Amino acid sequence: MVISNAWVNRDYKHLVLDAGLPAAGAKAGQFFHLLCPATEQDSPFFRRPMSTYRADPATGRVEFLYKVTGAGTRGLATLEAGDKLPMLGPLGVGFTLPAGARHIVVLGRGVGLATLAPLAEMAAQARVGVTAILSARDAANLMSQDRFTAIGATIVEVTDEAGTSSVENVERLLRELHAAGRADAFYTCGSSRLTLLMQRLGAELSVPGEVAMEQQMACGIGMCYCCVRAFREGDRLVSKRVCWDGPVFPLAEVA
């Protein structure tokens, strides 16, 4: 049942649902498979996977933050308070915190920030400090600052508009954080360039990490083998299903 579905800026909407338990028990990094409504313009056939922006067992609420881009999200954007949205989940493997971590770095770009916000809260509950590097095209597309601020995270904003979002600049930031002892683990979502950067630095600096991957899905529960990607296991390349084996994977496995 939809509680609200409001624009947060020009491109993104924030959908709040009363989903009840066990849906609201979704862990950071898990996703739901949403049966997006048809509109006059669109008839989405598949469900759409969407990572959880917030899930609160106390209230039974599940929230999503999404960019309106295609047939599925255009349908989602039409939902109003009181509407029903069939959804399957929570699905997939979520984020984990390495034992003994005291401070982590989360690096998100665009809608990837939505996936990382629950991870930052999970870290805060475990008394782990968080530095959040938020990347976007421009300041208007930076989101979730309030979520990161609320848990006491240190926020660093980088944008294309300000010329601060380049891989080189983000690498400098990550190296500084590591040198300051504030990077016991790396987490990222939303950009393959930034994922490869974190993977390379993680390997060089011996910092473990995880990435939430995106891939087109049909079934969402491991049956159709549509969402496979190649992953590295030792010196072998193996195919894994993003919906079933992920969507969160160790950074070291990204091929």
Residue 219 interacting with other proteins (CB under 8 A): yes
Helix (H) or strand (E) holding 11: none
In this chain, which of 157, 226, 232, 250 binds other proteins, going by CB under 8 A? 226
Q: Give the integer Cα–Cα distance in Å for 26 and 24.
A: 5
169 vs 135, 158, 205, CA distance in Å?
11, 9, 17
Residue 38 interacting with other proteins (CB under 8 A): no
Residue 224 interacting with other proteins (CB under 8 A): yes
Q: Any idea what the Cα angle at residue 175 is, between residues 170 and 178, rounded to 5°?
A: 125
In this chain, which of 222, 232, 250, 252 binds other proteins, going by CB under 8 A? 222
The beta strands (E) that lie in 38-142 are given as 48-51, 54-56, 61-67, 87-91, 103-109, 129-136
Residue 196 interacting with other proteins (CB under 8 A): no
Q: For other proteins, which stretch binds (CB under 8 A), given 42-50, 60-68, 94-102, 116-124?
A: 42-50
Residue 229 interacting with other proteins (CB under 8 A): yes
Q: Give the integer Cα–Cα distance in Å for 234 and 128.
A: 30
Residue 239 interacting with other proteins (CB under 8 A): yes
Which DSSP symbol is given to 26? Answer: P
Q: For other proteins, which stretch binds (CB under 8 A), given 57-65, 106-114, 203-211, 217-225?
A: 217-225
Closest CB to other proteins among residues 116, 248: 248
Sign of CA dihedral 92, 132, 24, 44: negative
The SS3 of residue 248 is: strand
Closest CB to other proteins among residues 163, 234: 234
Distance between first and last Cα of the chain:
39
The SS3 of residue 202 is: helix
The SS3 of residue 94 is: coil
| Residue 40 zone, left/alpha/beta (φ > 0; ψ -120 to 50; rest) | alpha
Residue 173 interacting with other proteins (CB under 8 A): no
Residue 216 interacting with other proteins (CB under 8 A): yes
Q: For other proteins, which stretch binds (CB under 8 A), given 44-52, 140-148, 170-178, 191-199?
A: 44-52
- Per-residue contact string for residues 106-145; x = within reach of other proteins by CB under 8 A: ----------------------------------------
The minimum distance between CB 152 and other proteins, in angstroms, equals 36
Residue 77 interacting with other proteins (CB under 8 A): no
Sign of CA dihedral 19, 23, 29, 34: negative
The minimum distance between CB 120 and other proteins, in angstroms, equals 28
Interface contacts to other proteins, rule CB under 8 A:
35, 43-47, 71, 88, 215-216, 218-226, 228-229, 239, 244
